Structures are given as C-alpha cells and as structure tokens.
C-alpha cells in the first residue's frame, strides 16, 4: 500500500497544494486541530459487529476487522502521537499497539478487578506478559515497541459517610502498583481525580476526567491520540463530546453468540449507507 488509505487522507491529512501523498507516515500532519488547543486532538475509533457489539460475552475479545481494515487501523495508529486505551482493554486483550506511543488510562479509585488483587505482581498483569512489552524489551522486525505511559491518580481520601477507613492501605497498594509499572519501563503520569460533589454521596464514577487527561497529554507533547476503547472509555469520551473525528469499522458478523453461523455474501455502499448481505446457515 502506497500511503494511507483514502478515507484517512480525507479525514486527517493536510497537504500543500500540488504535493502528492508520500508513503512515510511521519510526514503527514493530522489536520483539524481541536477548537480547544490546550488538549490533545482525539480520533475515536473502534470496530463493531452489525449488531453493534465491540466485545463478546464476558468481555471476550472479538476479532472483527478483516485483513484490510486492520491494516487501515495500523496505518491510522502511525498517524497519531499516541494510542489511547482503558486499563480494561490493556488487561483483557493481548495487544501489540505498534505504531505510536500507547497511553493507558487506569484508576484505582473504586473497585476494579485489578485493584482487588493483593500481590504486587498481579496488580497489573500487563507489564509481564503483554505482547507490547515484549516488543519493547525484545524488539522484533515487525515492530519496535515504545514504552507505554499510564495515566492514573492516587486514591483520593474520601471524607464523610462514605469515608474509606482503609485509605492508607489503598494508597500503599496503588504505590506498589505504580512501582511495578515503572520497573517494567512504563511512565506514570498523574492527573487530578474528579472532585466528589458531596461528602455524603457515594462517588459517582471511578473514571479519570477525560478532559484533564487530554490536557496532561498535550503538556507531555502528545498532540493527537487515537482512542481505541474499550467500551467504558468510548462511552465516557462520547458523553463528554470529546471526539474530533470518529472512524468506525463495521464487520459483517454478529456479535451475539446464540445466533447460528452466517455466510458472508457482499457489502455494498449505497450513497452514504453500508449494505451488508449475509445468509443464515441452518
């Protein structure tokens, strides 16, 4: 493939008049700076089935994209300064994330399976076994890894009715987890957690505030991020209207497992609609 696919050129690339598309990804400038230039620009992207699933039952990773659209996704990664995912995805998928600096958003504020772990080694399985870390430590011809950044916030001290008596312990666990990540080459970037509205109300969300996250990334020199998921990250970015562009791959499969197998027939564009034809196999 010579240069990025046309859809990415149309969406992102700003070229001076008369200049042809060049094959080196780093020569492209991402167009469309965000209106608020104190934060990184966001491309929100994910792959879904025709019944709008991005993951299988129990969060099982779905391999939705075909060869060509996965290549397109890899191209898109190289056109951004960072690839952004939630810790749910980092732990669930054995991802490579090649092409740009991976940025993982992770919080210890409320219960997450990772936070429940006691042992420092299990606090985040990501560094030890993940393919991306393996590339970083043992670069291979298919892609040299870049050490990941993890954005986090220490557990805040909650006062009032919902005060956590074990705050000291939680903080210690968070520090141990941070040390494990740093020892495995990750850079940990801190952001201010959300402020709770009232001390007598339970914390509404464990999420780190996306806008503050994007501001700190911009301060670190990340001008554009490709936000890949997972479900909760997509939801929180969309609900705060933090997407400058949206690229969605729709694959001709059904995500629901109880549906019998389907034979793929054809995909065709009708104007701006995508028509997918499938045959139900009895």
Ligand X SMILES: NC(=O)C1=CN([C@@H]2O[C@H](COP(=O)(O)OP(=O)(O)OC[C@H]3O[C@@H](n4cnc5c(N)ncnc54)[C@H](O)[C@@H]3O)[C@@H](O)[C@H]2O)C=CC1
Which residues sit at the interface with ligand LIKH6CAM, rule CB under 6 A?
47, 61-65, 70, 73, 85, 89, 93, 95-97, 228-229, 249
Q: Where does 63-136 show beta strands of DSSP type E?
A: 82-86, 101-105
Give me the least distance between CB of 240 and ligand X, in Å please: 8
Please report whether residue 74 would count as binding ligand X according to CB under 6 A.
Answer: no
Which of 125, 122, 186 shows the shortest CA–CA distance to 152?
186
Contact 181, 189 (CB under 8 A): no
Q: What is the CA radius of gyration of the chain?
A: 20
Q: Which residues contact 272 (CB under 8 A, 6 or more apart)?
A: none
Answer yes or no whether residue 49 interacts with ligand X by CB under 6 A: no
Residue 54 binds ligand X (CB under 6 A): yes
Choice between 70 and 188, CB closer to ligand LIKH6CAM: 70
User: CB of residue 139 vs ligand X: minimum separation in angstroms?
Assistant: 24
Q: Taking the complex as a whole, how short is the minimal distance between the CB of residue 11 and ligand X, in angstroms?
A: 17
Q: Which of 44, 105, 150, 226 binds ligand X (CB under 6 A)?
A: 105
Integer CA distances (angstroms), 86 to 16, 168, 173, 199, in order: 36, 25, 20, 27
State the pairing for strand pair 273-280/187-190. unpaired
Binding-site string for ligand X from residue 75 to residue 94, where x marks contact by CB under 6 A and - marks none? ----------xxxxx--xx-
The interface partner of residue 63, options being ligand LIKH6CAM, ligand X, none and the CB cut-off 5 to 8 Å by kind, is ligand LIKH6CAM
Mask of contacts with ligand X, 200-239, x by CB under 6 A?
------xxx-x-----------------xxxxxx--x---
What angle is formed at CA 61 by the lines to CA 57 and CA 63, rounded to 5 degrees?
115
Q: Name the segment binding ligand X (CB under 6 A); options: 3-11, 101-109, 169-177, 272-280.
A: 101-109
Round to whole Å and give the CA distance between 152 and 208: 8
- Residue 73 binds which of ligand X, ligand LIKH6CAM, none (CB < 5-8 A, kind-dependent): ligand LIKH6CAM
> Please, what is the minimum distance in Å from the beta carbon of residue 90 to ligand LIKH6CAM?
8
- Does the protein bind ligand X through residue 47 (CB under 6 A)? yes
Residue closest to 45 by CA, chosen among 66, 21, 23, 70: 70
Q: How far is the CB of 16 from ligand X (least distance, A)?
A: 33
Q: Where are the beta strands (DSSP E) in the chain?
A: 41-49, 82-86, 101-105, 149-152, 187-190, 224-229, 245-251, 262-270, 273-280
d(CA 182, CA 245): 32
Decide the pairing of beta strands 273-280 and 262-270: antiparallel
Q: Residue 97's binding partner, choosing from ligand LIKH6CAM, ligand X, none, with beta-carbon cut-off 5 to 8 A by kind? A: ligand LIKH6CAM
Shortest CB 263 distance to ligand LIKH6CAM, Å: 20
Spatial contact of 135 and 175, defined as CB atoms under 8 Å apart: no
List of residues contacting ligand X (CB under 6 A): 46-47, 54-55, 59, 61-62, 64, 85-89, 92-93, 105-107, 112, 206-208, 210, 228-233, 236
């Amino acid at each position: 493939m010579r240069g990025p696919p046309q859809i990415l050129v149309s969406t992102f690339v700003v070229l001076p008049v008369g200049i042809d598309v060049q094959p080196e990804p780093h020569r492209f400038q991402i167009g469309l700076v965000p209106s608020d230039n104190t934060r990184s620009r966001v491309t929100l992207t994910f792959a879904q089935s025709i019944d709008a699933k991005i993951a299988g039952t129990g969060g099982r990773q779905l391999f939705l994209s075909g060869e060509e659209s996965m290549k397109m996704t890899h191209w898109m990664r190289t056109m951004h300064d960072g690839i952004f995912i939630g810790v749910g995805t980092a732990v669930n998928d054995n991802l490579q994330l090649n092409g740009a600096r991976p940025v993982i958003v992770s919080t210890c504020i409320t219960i997450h399976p990772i936070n429940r772990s006691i042992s420092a080694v299990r606090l985040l399985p990501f560094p030890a076994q993940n393919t991306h870390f393996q590339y970083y430590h043992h670069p291979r011809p298919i892609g040299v890894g870049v050490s990941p950044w993890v954005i986090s916030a220490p557990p805040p001290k909650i006062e009032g009715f919902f005060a956590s008596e074990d705050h000291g312990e939680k903080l210690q666990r968070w520090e141990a987890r941070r040390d494990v990540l740093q020892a495995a080459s990750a850079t940990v970037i801190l952001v201010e957690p959300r402020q709770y509205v009232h001390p007598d109300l339970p914390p509404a969300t464990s999420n780190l505030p996306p806008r503050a996250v994007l501001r700190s990334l911009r301060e670190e020199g990340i001008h554009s991020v490709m936000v890949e998921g997972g479900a909760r990250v997509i939801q929180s970015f969309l609900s705060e209207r933090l997407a400058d562009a949206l690229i969605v791959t729709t694959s001709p499969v059904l995500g629901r497992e109880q549906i019998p197998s389907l034979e793929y027939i054809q995909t065709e564009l009708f104007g701006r609609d995508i028509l997918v034809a499938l045959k139900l196999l009895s």
